[in-house]
Structure 1
Amino acid sequence: MRFATWNVNSLKVRLPQVIQWLSDSPVDVLCLQELKMDQDVFPLADIEAAGYRAAWFGQKTYNGVAILARAPLELEDVVCGIPDYGDEQRRVIAATVNGIRVICGYFVNGEAVDSPKYPYKLEWLANLERYVAAELQRHPQLLLLGDYNIAPEDRDVYDPESWHEQVLCSTPERESFRRLIALGLSDSFRLFNQEEKQYSWWDYRAMMFRRNKGVRIDHILVSDALKPRALDCVIDKAPRKWERPSDHTPVVLTLAD
């Protein structure tokens, strides 16, 4: 089975690219972030025409997440949001697909370490950690996919000096990532690729993609129970080269059946 995560930065704008990518790379499960659309305008007919089923948690203008599963796979036990956390921002959706618990998250950006949004990011991360810990107890076979807005290590950033203790790279954010790992998860990309200059997001400005000045903030964490099935994890840069691309590109994990 193949699982992917992709922050599409507006599904309305990027829908043709999602459909094209699913045709080119027919993954079994695709987690989307930043839908930027209300719940009632999700393009379900287009997704179904492409051969996929969907569960989504939409929000106008910003946020919004979805899980797509290639038919005949079913999306079971769908849960929207983090339970027992009154968050108005729609950032998390979970479903069980073929016995694997899939959690799709659009993690808080935080804007800057001195921004009022930064404490919210840390609070949100703490609640996510609690939720994931509980889900692992119920579902040992678990994947946590999404735009984490966290670069775990200096090698995940094109210029560690300029990013030092900035948002995405601050110590509290990285410690939160490590706490997720300590729950019994692994960074699937790093199970296979230890090279530097491997990124999943590039700013639109200053030709950052062409110059490969990016950060690796899109991740798929795999539980210990699933880890032996992991065969490969890659960053697919192709969609970032298309016309009007998202600033993120897909990350794809392959698991043995």
Structure 2
Amino acid sequence: MKTLKIATFNINGLRARLPNLLAWLEREQPDIACLQELKAVDSAFPVADFEALGYGCLHHGQASWNGVAILARDAQPLEVRRGLPGSEDDTQSRYLEAAVLGIQVGCLYLPNGNPQPGPKFDYKLAWFERLIAHAQGLVNSEHPVLLAGDFNVVPTDLDIYNPRSWLKDALLQPESRECYQRLLAQGWTDAIRHLYPDERVYTFWDYFRQHWQKNSGLRIDHLLLNPPLARRLKNAGVDAWVRNEAHASDHAPTWIELKAAR
């Protein structure tokens, strides 16, 4: 089997940015793409557009907010789980898990949590706890497992251009960072930070104060690999050119390349 390229991309509105998304897929041709913040119900998911590019689709949508999807080139993702266990009354579409090309993939859109303190931040931390509990079983699997998505956490000050103006933001709160570190401590490998331990790598530039033009970014989109998959990690990066396109998402696709399975 050839090298696999897997990407995660918060598109910030499927209907508004479908041309951008299709252009990226056609140019970069990831084998697996995890999408977040669809802001569209399942019936509005443009399956035909993706199939025209050779992608099978699995989607978990929601009107106006949230929504996640997994695309696979020349394959059909096989659904494993829709939503995290632990709160069956949670109506927000934030987690989708599938078997794809020999890998168990969890695509997630972790709650933003702003404003904090308050109920949105409480929900963020509760959701994170459910993710940590579920991830414990995944990381210990003998099969390759990937957690990919918008985690809405800036892990350290190395992952942000300047933390001072974000000190009150939910993405930088000690509780958010502590949850992320507890997740990593289970045995997950943060692909970008593993390969670039001392570099400032950004995946998100908001629309304010010319943050893209000034490269004032944050790293909040992560790909976490369990030990069997981490042994295959070959390369990782960010398709930053996508952020410079007209009508771009405030995120750029973040990706890994994996060596072929033996």
Which bracket does the TM-score occupy, shorter chain normalised?
over 0.9
Query: SS at the partner of 1:151?
Result: coil
1:1-257 to 2 correspondence within 5 Å? 1-71=4-74, 73-86=75-88, 87-138=90-141, 140-164=143-167, 166-257=169-260
Identify if the C-alpha distance between structure 1 residues 238 and 133 changes in structure 2 by more than 3 Å, giving closer, same or farther.
same
Deviation at 1:137, TM superposition (A): 4.0
Structure 1 distance, partners of 2:76, 2:59, is 14
CA contact (8 A) 1:102 1:145 kept: yes
> What TM-score comes out, normalization by structure 1 length?
0.96
Structure 1 distance, partners of 2:219, 2:209, is 18
Deviation at 1:211, TM superposition (A): 0.6
Structure 1 distance, partners of 2:60, 2:115, is 26
Structure 1 distance, partners of 2:42, 2:148, is 21
Deviation at 1:226, TM superposition (A): 1.0
List alignment gaps of at least 5 residues for structure 1.
Answer: none
Identify if the C-alpha distance between structure 1 residues 77 and 203 changes in structure 2 by more than 3 Å, giving closer, same or farther.
closer
Deviation at 1:159, TM superposition (A): 0.9
Aligned length: 256
Query: SS at the partner of 2:172?
Result: coil
CA contact (8 A) 1:55 1:78 kept: no
Structure 2 distance, partners of 1:190, 1:167, is 21
Query: SS at the partner of 1:239?
Result: helix
CA contact (8 A) 1:101 1:139 kept: no
List alignment gaps of at least 5 residues for structure 2.
Answer: none
Deviation at 1:160, TM superposition (A): 2.0
Task: After superposing the two structures, state which structure 1 stretch, 182-191 or 155-164, moved more.
Answer: 155-164
**RMSD (CA atoms):** 1.3
